[in-house]
Amino acid sequence: MSNGRSPEQIRASIEEQREQLGVAVERLRVEVDRATDWRRHLREHQQQVVLGAAVAGFVLGGGIAGVVGLFRRR
């Protein structure tokens, strides 16, 4: 079951695959670091985060005030 490659060619191929795997793993590590960097995401979307927090506060505050108002009417 020889494919016509010499032991040296096989070793060279294995080494090349090992190097490519190392590069791929490093690239993946960098991408995972970027994807999970929540501080960067907050900085990049600061306006949307502040707006969302304001809306959530308004809704929660209005909801609490509405419930309190219902109890006061009784």
Strands (E), 15-68: none
CB 34 within 8 A of CB 26: no
Q: What residues contact 49, with CB distance under 8 A and at least 6 apart?
A: 42
State the Cα–Cα distance between residues 11 and 18, nearest whole angstrom: 10
Query: What string of pLDDT tens digits covers the 74 residues of the chain?
Result: 557 899 999 999 999 999 999 999 999 999 999 999 999 999 999 999 999 999 999 888 887 877 787 787 76
